[in-house]
Amino acid sequence: MQNAKRTADLIAPAGPAPAWTGFATLLYKELLRFWKVSFQTVAAPVLTAVLYLLIFGHALEGRVQVYERLSYTAFLVPGLVMMSMLQNAFANSSSSLIQSKVTGNLVFVLLTPLSHVEFFGAYVVASMVRGLAVGAGVLVVTLPFASVSVEHPFWAAGFALAGCAILGTMGLLAGIWAEKFDQLAAFQSFIIMPLTFLAGVFYSIHSLPAFWERASRLNPFFYMIDGFRYGFFGVSDVDPAASLAIVGVFLAGLAAITLGLLKTGYRLRH
Amino acid sequence: MVAAIEIRGLVKRYGALQALAGIDLEIQPGEFFGLLGPNGAGKTTLISILAGLARADSGSARVLGHDVVADYRSSRRLLGVVPQELVFDPFFTVRETLAIQSGYYGLRANGDWIDEVMHHLDLASKADANMRTLSGGMKRRVLIAQALVHRPPVIVLDEPTAGVDVELRQGLWEFIRRLNRDGHTVVLTTHYIEEAEMLCDRIAMLKTGRIVALDATAELIRRFHALYLRVRLEGTVPERLASLAVGSEAGRHTFKLGEYAEVETALAELRATGARILEMELVQPDLEEVFVQIMRGAGTPDAERETHR
């Protein structure tokens, strides 16, 4: 700050800044955050999914026939891909936000002109990218174990994107609500895990007793996994258009709640 | 001229705790302003509301005319805040931290300015070091650099030298002074009264969420224009002088006098009673003394507030 730079220069022109720069920077930071530790955030969940495939595939192959002409291992692949995407999309936004809250460095974002919409967008899109990266990884490494084809790629992509967006949003919600790491862990153990495991990753809900089949239909995660599986095999328990509509409404509702909380600064701005 | 900071009737409550009980304050562009008060006086709450980190229950705050709630994008662009706590993002290097912070403000190609800020804060040699590896003092400097990436005309520093060693403190003071000379409005909260006395043109003292004193620093000190005569004596203290004593213990006495002329009278009285002076010193009040008196309730809030708005 030599004398050459006088006040007049320092009082920066308050003209409109490039509209996307703030959002793009926060997104970039969120991507960098998980990419710098991708061994932990991408490679590890891929390995976990492969272990599921090997263990359940080995234990149940030949004993469980879900759809005709479809091996159990092949049936398992889309479910595992989706489950990994959902869990990692959730983990990304929730752990990023709680870490920033607990360590206090969230202040660097809160002090800036970023709006609640930009904040929401950056966290959710970064979560989606992580979810999709893990999903792609799981798909690639499981291919040698089962012959899987993607019959309707657009349906598969639609459900993958929507599922990751939903879990990224739920992660944001959990991160906003939680004030300690163990609260977040509770959210994950008591809400996310049961909803995922009971969504038909390992079975078709048609194989369930009537009560549990009906109960499964109340679980929004079921529609994500069922619809995603339709994208692969062209068969599903529920019409994929209906599933996508339900998933879309669920996403819109969650997004509205989360945006509302961010706008009021709930548990972020005191 | 629009005020750098304009605060009207600010009230904030955290449950049963009244953090701010109606604050009115105006700070003009170019001022070097100090916010003083004990812990819990409301300094950080006030800054948090200005910065949008907290929401007021009632009242308003503006930065260069922009409301911090209704027009937060503008107000935050004009404000640089150095938080009190030593926070950092362990994922990034110093340069990454500053580039990312610039981006949040919509600035893409900010490298030249970042280099300049790092240079002035002696951070250049640590530019590519991870934040985790920096010492506390270095992290503090990065916090200051982060508050400056968008060249804010108004800078708020919440206890910038807390926990900083003496040498670095001098350097930081010099740097903050220079910012002020270059036209930035600077608002500083501090526990070190000496720091406020040395740096600030004007000071507000806060106590339990209220401003109990607000004046030019020199004026605040002048207003408490008492003079203290400290003596160690052999003998007795004359009656009139005893009534002026503010402390007497084991032959050591402190008398509060109005002005220098009274010193002579006091000495004459002592001589008259045959007391022998072993040690003597004259003490003028400094800001610390003023602060202690005001916090004890010696300052009358209403009288303080009408002057020098």
pLDDT in tens, B196-245: 888 999 999 999 999 998 999 888 877 776 788 889 988 888 888 888 88
- Cα separation, B281 vs B100, whole angstroms: 56
Are B212 and B191 found together in one domain? yes
Domain count, chain B: 2
Residue A8: the pLDDT is 35
pLDDT in tens, A172-188: 999 999 999 999 999 99
The mean pLDDT of A88-110, rounded to a whole number, is 96
Residue entry with tokens 């959990």: A174
- Taking CB atoms and an 8 Å limit, are A21 and B150 in contact across chains? no
Please identify, among B172, B206, B221, the residue that sits at the C-terminal boundary of a domain: B221
Please identify, among B196, B221, B246, the residue that sits at the C-terminal boundary of a domain: B221
Mean pLDDT score of chain B: 88
**What pLDDT band is residue A80 in, cutting at 50, 70 and 90?**
very high
Are B216 and B163 found together in one domain? yes
Residue A69: the pLDDT is 73
Burial of B270 (0-12, 13-18, 19+ CB in 10 A): buried
Residue from A110, A10, A8 nearest B116 by CA = A10
The answer, yes or no, to whether residue B114 has pLDDT greater than 80, is yes
Residue A202: the pLDDT is 86
The answer, yes or no, to whether residue A7 has pLDDT greater than 50, is no
Where along chain A do its domains lie? 64-264
Tokens, residue B175:
């740097």
Specify the range with the lowest mean pLDDT, choosing from A64-68, A132-136, A190-194, B72-76: A64-68
Mean pLDDT score of chain A: 90
Residue B219: the pLDDT is 85
The answer, yes or no, to whether residue B303 has pLDDT greater than 70, is no
Q: How many residues does chain B have?
A: 309
- Taking CB atoms and an 8 Å limit, are A107 and B53 in contact across chains? yes
Residue B218: the pLDDT is 85
Burial of B84 (0-12, 13-18, 19+ CB in 10 A): middle
Residue A18: the pLDDT is 66
- Cα separation, A93 vs A126, whole angstroms: 8
Nearest CB partner across the interface for A21, out of B88, B101, B103: B103
ipTM of predicted complex? 0.87
Residue B265: domain span: 226-284
Residue B203: the pLDDT is 93
Question: Measured between beta carbons, which residues in chain B are less than 8 angstroms from residue A112?
Answer: 76, 101, 104-105
**For a pLDDT cut of 70, what percent of chain A falls above it?**
92
Are B235 and B213 found together in one domain? no
The answer, yes or no, to whether residue A162 has pLDDT greater than 90, is yes
* A12 and B CB contact within 8 Å: yes
Are B15 and B64 found together in one domain? yes
Question: Measured between beta carbons, which residues in chain B are less than 8 angstroms from residue A111?
Answer: 51-53, 76, 79, 81
Residue from A37, A30, A265, A41 nearest A124 by CA = A30
- Cα separation, B294 vs B214, whole angstroms: 11
- Taking CB atoms and an 8 Å limit, are A105 and B184 in contact across chains? no
Question: Measured between beta carbons, which residues in chain B are less than 8 angstroms from residue A25?
Answer: 100, 102-104
The mean pLDDT of A195-217, rounded to a whole number, is 88
Nearest CB partner across the interface for B51, out of A8, A26, A111: A111
Are B163 and B43 found together in one domain? yes
Are B156 and B262 found together in one domain? no
* A69 and B CB contact within 8 Å: no
Residue from B177, B127, B130 nearest B157 by CA = B177
CA B87 vs CA A25, A214, B71, B103: distances in Å: 19, 49, 27, 19
Indicate the SS3 state at residue A10.
Answer: helix
Are B209 and B252 found together in one domain? no
**CATH no. for residue B177?**
3.40.50.300
The answer, yes or no, to whether residue B290 has pLDDT greater than 50, is yes
The mean pLDDT of B191-195, rounded to a whole number, is 81
Q: Is the dihedral of CA B261, B263, B265, B271 positive or negative?
A: negative
Say which residue, A19 or B203, is predicted with more confidence.
B203
Burial of B251 (0-12, 13-18, 19+ CB in 10 A): middle
Q: Give A101-150 as a DSSP string.
A: HHHSTTHHHHTSS--HHHHHHHHHHHHHHHHHHHHHHHHHHHGGGS----
Residue B80: the pLDDT is 97
The answer, yes or no, to whether residue B300 has pLDDT greater than 70, is no
- pTM here is 0.86
Within a domain: residue B20? yes
Residue from B110, B84, B95 nearest A12 by CA = B110
Within a domain: residue B217? yes
Within a domain: residue B18? yes
The answer, yes or no, to whether residue A2 has pLDDT greater than 80, is no
- Taking CB atoms and an 8 Å limit, are B100 and A112 in contact across chains? no
Within a domain: residue B162? yes
Are B162 and B277 found together in one domain? no
Specify the range with the lowest mean pLDDT, choosing from A94-103, A188-197, B97-106, B246-255: B246-255
**For a pLDDT cut of 70, what percent of chain B falls above it?**
95
Backbone angles phi, psi at B79, to 5 degrees: -120, 135
The mean pLDDT of A112-141, rounded to a whole number, is 97
Nearest CB partner across the interface for A21, out of B79, B85, B106: B106
Question: Measured between beta carbons, which residues in chain A are less than 8 angstroms from residue B89?
Answer: 100, 103, 105, 108
- Taking CB atoms and an 8 Å limit, are A22 and B105 in contact across chains? yes
Say which residue, B70 or B285, is predicted with more confidence.
B70
**What pLDDT band is residue B304 in, cutting at 50, 70 and 90?**
very low
Question: Measured between beta carbons, which residues in chain B are less than 8 angstroms from residue A107?
Answer: 53, 83, 87
Residue B306: the pLDDT is 38
**What pLDDT band is residue A17 in, cutting at 50, 70 and 90?**
low
The answer, yes or no, to whether residue B163 has pLDDT greater than 80, is no
Are B158 and B268 found together in one domain? no
How far B103 CA sits from the closest chain A CA (Å)?
5
Residue of A nearest to B71 (CA): A113
Are B71 and B156 found together in one domain? yes
Indicate the SS3 state at residue A83.
Answer: helix
Residue A229: the pLDDT is 94
- Taking CB atoms and an 8 Å limit, are A14 and B116 in contact across chains? no
Specify the range with the lowest mean pLDDT, choosing from B98-102, B144-148, B259-263, B302-306: B302-306
- Taking CB atoms and an 8 Å limit, are B74 and A113 in contact across chains? yes
The answer, yes or no, to whether residue B301 has pLDDT greater than 50, is no
The answer, yes or no, to whether residue A9 has pLDDT greater than 70, is no
Question: Measured between beta carbons, which residues in chain A are less than 8 angstroms from residue B107?
Answer: 17, 21
Contact A111, B51 (CB under 8 A): yes
Within a domain: residue B126? no
How far A101 CA sits from the closest chain B CA (Å)?
11
The answer, yes or no, to whether residue A85 has pLDDT greater than 80, is yes
- Cα separation, B219 vs B303, whole angstroms: 13
HSE-CB for B189 with a 13 A CA cutoff: 22
Q: Torsion angle of alpha carbons B132, B136, B142, B146, nearest 10°?
A: 100
Within 10 A of A24 (CB to CB), how many other CB atoms are there? 16
Q: Is the dihedral of CA B120, B124, B130, B134 positive or negative?
A: negative
Q: In what order do the strands lie in the sheet with B154-158?
A: B79-82, B154-158, B185-190, B32-36, B202-207, B210-216
Contact B241, B255 (CB under 8 A): yes
